Chain A
Amino acid sequence: MGPVELLHMSVFSQSFSPCGRFLAAGNNYGEIAIFSLSAALSPDATDLSQKPILTFTAHEGPVFTLLSTDTHLLSAGNGEISAWSWVELTKRSTKAVWTRRPNYKSSLEIPEINAMIINPKDNSLIVGGGDNNIHIMDMETGTFKSVLQGHTDYIHCLALKEREGEILSGGEDGAVRIWDSRTRQAVHCIEVFKYEECARPQFGKWISCLATDSDWMLCGGGPSLSLWHLRSMSPTSVFPLAGCQREAVFHQDVIFAVGEGPHVSHCLLGGSVKAQIPCTSPSLNTLALNLSSTEHRVMTAAGSSDKIDVFTNFSYRAFSLSF
């Protein structure tokens, strides 16, 4: 990686290891870097501990999404999904355990995969990609069980309501569809851009971030980031954030959102923006919270640069890891 490549690097995805001590990040060159959080957070950390312990090329295209199961790291790039063993990765071995590809209809081009989530109830992997469909793969057998069709443009993000077993998907067509995982049918379809409070026509209608917390749903993108009550299917609060948000998460009583603009926005459920914490990248693509580990409880954010900001206290940036 020469200095020019580093200058033009963007980080698209992050995932913490199941033990919580490692962070995997994927960039636009198809590389995945594994960082040791325990080394970077230890009191005698040096500059070297902020560099990855392992960097390898995982895919031909950019790595848009990363997901961690109990034992494996799943990465998806140019239309294919690869799995890597966390144990092997920490031992610096870069052999993929398996690589699979959903059945795409058109053979002209390979659509990229933008989002993946795991449904723990039936141990299936739900993949949303550039062919406008959601593919569901059984983790044990590795076969693609079903395809959820309905979107008219490619899918940006996925979310899962665990209790009800419902899958939410948001796409370029501006619609948020709610699917029932057992019946494989679309239950609801919300066209966010049609609601005047949220719509921002100057940006477009696409939905790029989705998050759910039991009855509540966050969605944003072209339209403003808004909090929806799913029972009533109506927006309760609209957050006055400039720029399009690309990822948002619920955390206790606060909502963290990142997108265009060099900051992480802390928003309250009522619709007000509590704080905007500055970051190093001019715009951020991904936000992750390491909740599985108590001693390495950090938030990391990364975007249009080679740096991943680490927040030990969510109110300010502690340091940055770099590729």
Chain B
Amino acid sequence: MMPAQGFGRRYMKAFLKGFFVAVPVTVTFLDQVACVARVEGASMQPSLNPGGSHSSDVVLLNHWKVRNYEVQRGDIVSLVSPKNPEQKIIKRVIALEGDIIKTMGHKNRYVKVPRGHMWVEGDHHGHSFDSNAFGPVSLGLLHAHATHILWPPKRWQRLESILPPERAPVQIEEK
């Protein structure tokens, strides 16, 4: 016959042991490997959220792919907003360091992307708060690479890294 207090104690110990394993592992996984996020806004239409606010897409964010800050032109990435650190924004990478790009609505017509920076734009030009407004962004703000749409089910797909041909850089720096 197990005394009631002894049973409660053992249960507590087992619970705490499981807790201290599960919480750090889950938090580390969500920070370093992958997580999911709901996309809000119209700046990436038609690639993301083509239905507007009626049905927001949920995307898979892959942290592991950008752990060394390696991105390709055409990738859809999430990053910390340079104007509001509490917010994350999701845009497409148009140019990398060393590229010269022709801007749309930026104060300079042509911009050379500095070392350690990238140029991002939303697919829905004119409705996007992106590098055309705040200039090149530091790679240190990179959060994750959006690789798949997970929800709604009829929009399950892999997000392709396509660079719109009319937005290709004027000059690409060869490595």
State whether these chains interact.
no
- Enumerate chain B interface residues (CB-CB to A < 8 A): none
- Enumerate chain A interface residues (CB-CB to B < 8 A): none
